[in-house]
Homo-oligomer: A and B are copies of this chain.
Amino acid sequence: MDYSKVLQEIKEEIVTFKNTGKVATYIPELGKVDPSKFGVYLQCTDGSGYGLGDALDRFSIQSISKVLSLSLALKLKGKEVWKRIGVEPSGDPFNSLVQLEYEKGIPRNPFINAGALVVADILISELKNPKEELLQFVRDIAEDQTIDYDENVAASEMMHKFRNASLTHLMKDFGNIHNNVDDVLDFYFHQCSIAMNCKQLTQAFTIFLNYGKYDLSKEAAVLDTMLAKRINALMLTCGFYDESGEFAFSVGLPGKSGVGGGIVALHPKYYSIAVWSPPLNKNGNSELGMKVLELLTSKTEISVF
């Protein structure tokens, strides 16, 4: 497959794409981004890589970080994690309290906010220096030691913490948060603030390719075969909030989006890809990013299905 050619075709087609999305503004720091930014990077298992546009600009990865924190938690605690978080699609918006109350503080899956907050709580309990060690894990799997938190974004999120504070207190009431609520929120907002570019994201997500065996040089980071497969399954069923079914249906790849406008997706056998375009559709996913990935699997006729 000549991915370079496919990407060029996509680039030409989207020139006429009418973007009706809106940049996230719930925290001022995110609202400052240039809405016309657009980057793509595709990393193949054969070692070749292809970039387009602003593929080397860093942006706030936001919820994409949930896949990385989960991977670390699973490496540390294995199946224990699933006693405190489910693996089912939620059928509700990403920050809903309704289901969480009915289901007694056990989040449906690790990719809604409540689930990621429990993952954060687990990492705080397991790690000596939680923020440092998570960052090191991300740097290692992305093979780039310059990756860092964006303290302005993290601080801005903390000032608008109320919905997430509500979720965390509710779970604490049910006994499913073990640490101090503000510590959990501080860790979580830092994790979301990590700034990465499309290329770095595709590198990090190679740990989910070829059943986690893609690159043995990342020894410490490599995931057990079964673990990589399962995280892929979770991305496919739960990676796009209440648009997860639509993404599986239209694109047909495991993936994860963030409100910073990034989407990472992957085909376990062939490639990982990251797209970045800040304006979001009404479900909180990059509108142009979704389109690019739909074009990719339509043109290549390659998806996991």
A interface residues, Cβ below 8 angstroms from B: 86-92, 96-99, 101-102, 108-109, 161-163, 165-170, 172-173, 181, 211, 225-226, 228-230, 232-234, 236-238, 242-246, 248-250, 252, 254, 268, 298, 301, 303-305
Number of copies: 4
Partner of A304, one of B101, B167, B245, B304: B304
Beyond A87-B248, A98-B101, A234-B248, 14 additional pairs, beta carbon < 8 A: A88-B243, A89-B237, A89-B245, A90-B91, A109-B245, A162-B170, A163-B169, A166-B169, A225-B301, A230-B250, A230-B252, A233-B252, A237-B245, A254-B305
Partner of A99, one of B91, B166, B173, B225: B91
* Top 4 A-B pairs, shortest CB-CB distance: A91-B91, A89-B89, A162-B173, A88-B245
Tell me the nearest residue of chain B to A248, going by C-beta.
Answer: B233
| Interface secondary structure of A, over-half rule | helix
B229 touches A305 (CB 8 A): yes
Partner of A211, one of B101, B250, B301: B301
Q: CA A170 – CA B225 in complex, angstroms? A: 40
A102 — which chain B residues lie within 8 A by C-beta? 98
A234 — which chain B residues lie within 8 A by C-beta? 245, 248-249
Tell me the nearest residue of chain B to A26, going by C-beta.
Answer: B173
A87 touches B246 (CB 8 A): yes
Q: CA A64 – CA B48 in complex, angstroms? A: 42
A242 — which chain B residues lie within 8 A by C-beta? 88
A101 — which chain B residues lie within 8 A by C-beta? 96-98
Tell me the nearest residue of chain B to A160, going by C-beta.
Answer: B173
Q: CA A166 – CA B173 in complex, angstroms? A: 9
A229 — which chain B residues lie within 8 A by C-beta? 252, 303, 305
Q: CA A153 – CA B305 in complex, angstroms? A: 34
- Of the A-B pairs whose beta carbons lie under 8 Å apart in the complex, a sample of 9, sorted by A's number, is A88-B242, A88-B245, A97-B97, A233-B248, A234-B245, A237-B237, A237-B244, A237-B245, A304-B304
A246 — which chain B residues lie within 8 A by C-beta? 87-88
Query: What is the CB-to-nearest-CB distance from A236 to chain B, in angstroms, rounded to a whole number?
Result: 7
Tell me the nearest residue of chain B to A177, going by C-beta.
Answer: B162
Tell me the nearest residue of chain B to A82, going by C-beta.
Answer: B249
Q: CA A181 – CA B12 in complex, angstroms? A: 49
Query: What is the CB-to-nearest-CB distance from A16 to chain B, in angstroms, rounded to a whole number?
Result: 21
A228 — which chain B residues lie within 8 A by C-beta? 305
Q: Which of A162, A225, A234, A298 has the most CB of B within 10 A?
A: A162
Q: CA A243 – CA B233 in complex, angstroms? A: 13
A92 — which chain B residues lie within 8 A by C-beta? 91
Q: CA A305 – CA B236 in complex, angstroms? A: 9
Partner of A108, one of B91, B108, B238: B91
Query: What is the CB-to-nearest-CB distance from A234 to chain B, in angstroms, rounded to a whole number?
Result: 6
